[in-house]
Every structure is written in C-alpha cells, then in structure tokens.
Amino acid sequence: MNVFTGKYDFDNGKPLDKNLWTIQQFIKSDENFEKNYNNKIFNLDNVIINSKSAREYFSYYSKENEGNGFNFGNEENEKTPYNRRTIDYCVAFDNKLKGFNNNNSQNFTGLITNCVGFNNNINYELPYNIIKWTNNWSWGSKYDDKCDKEMILKKPSNENSAKKNFYNIRDQIIKAVYANTFPDNINFDKTIKGLN
C-alpha cells in the first residue's frame, strides 16, 4: 500500500503525487498533510478516507488484496460453464500468492497463450478446462504450478537474463506513469517473443 499512501515516493525523495485519488483524500481530510510531506514528515494520523482512518482503510484493503496477479472468476459463479477466459501476452510476477489463478471458478473454459509467470508463490493454478494453451512460460516460483500435466510450461534457457528483461520493461512503465504519461508502445510482447 506504500504506493497509494505516498510512502513509496516519500521514502525515495519524490514529490507528493497529487494525481493519486488517495492523496487527494489525504489533503482534503488533513490540511497539514501536504505541508508535513514537503517538510520531510510522513504522518497519516489525521487522515480520513471514506469515514475511516487511513490505517483502518488500508488495513482492510490489504486483507482484500489477496496477492494474485490474474484472477479468472470466483466461487459465486463457478456453476456457469459457458464463461470463457482469454488471455494473450500477459505477464504475472512477484505476486505473494498466484500469478494466474482460477479463483475457485472450476467450470470456466480458458484460452491462454503467450503468457509468462515467474517469481510468484505459485505461477499458475488453473485446474479447469483449457481449450487453448500455447507458448506459456513459468520459472522461479516457490511452489509447483497446479495445472493439468498436458499443459506444458516452458522455462527460458537463461532465467536471470529473462527476468532482467521483464524488470526493465516494468521500470519503463513505472517511469512513464511517474512522468504522468500513458506508457504507449511499452509492453511485454517483444520480451515474451524473445524467450528461448
């Protein structure tokens, strides 16, 4: 939650990002928040968001944000067998739980192509009906993937180099966002195509 509270920027010597909705709420609820921030003081004690203290609000949000990359449904609609999930050229990494997660939606069908999962707790947990599975990659997870054994997952020949390439793209996207520009033409497609 450090990004949404401004703590990440504060710790890295960046100016207060007043484009963030949460920061706008901080400034509205605490007239000293911006002044304190600019004077090298980070204090959320007087901040209110949606009638909750900032700590309550983000504590609740942290519990709700379970740490998955891509969730493909939930148990409430698991009995709807005609829903289809299609993903292509998607990347999930550094998630505390799963990169690609069926999220209890056992009856969905899936078309999953050119996807990459790495450095997640589990990269792929997709035990439902996959009708197309092509060129998907997995490495560096803490636990084994949970997929049908016919769902082949590739590993790059140089995992560290591949990881570095994905992090470079991530950093370009972050840089564009901090410059308040849309990260046009910055994507993972070429990096995925370059895996071997």
Q: For the residues 109-125, what does the mean pLDDT come to?
A: 94
Q: Is 39 left (phi over 0), alpha (psi -120 to 50) or beta?
A: alpha
Q: pLDDT by residue (tens digit) across 146-169?
A: 988 788 999 999 999 999 999 999
Q: State yes or no: pLDDT of 75 exceeds 60.
A: no
Query: Which alpha helices (H) appear in the chain, and where do they start and end?
Result: 2-5, 7-11, 21-29, 33-38, 54-64, 159-178, 189-193
pLDDT, one tens digit per residue, over 20-49 is: 888 999 999 999 999 999 999 999 999 988
Q: Are residues 168 and 82 in the same domain?
A: yes
Instruction: Indicate whether 78 and 31 sit together in one domain.
Output: no
Tell me which of 89 and 52 has the higher pLDDT. 89
pLDDT in tens, 82-114: 677 889 999 999 999 999 988 777 667 789 999
Q: Do 38 and 128 reside in the same domain of the chain?
A: no
Phi, psi values for residue 88, rounded to 5°: -145, 135
pLDDT score of 168? 96
Report how far residue 172's alpha carbon sits from residue 87's, in angstroms, rounded to the nearest whole number. Answer: 23
Q: Is the pTM of this model over 0.75?
A: no
- Asked whether residue 137 falls in the same domain as residue 96, the answer is yes
* Same domain, yes or no: 21 and 77: no
Cβ atoms < 10 Å from Cβ of 107: 15
How far apart (Å, rounded) are the C-alpha atoms in residues 37 and 14?
10
Domain that holds residue 75: 67-196
Residue 49's DSSP bridge partners are: 52
Model confidence at 171, pLDDT cuts 50, 70, 90, reads very high
Q: Looking at the structure, do residues 179 and 104 belong to the same domain, yes or no?
A: yes
> What is the residue-averaged pLDDT of the chain?
87
Last residue of a domain, one of 49, 64, 79: 64
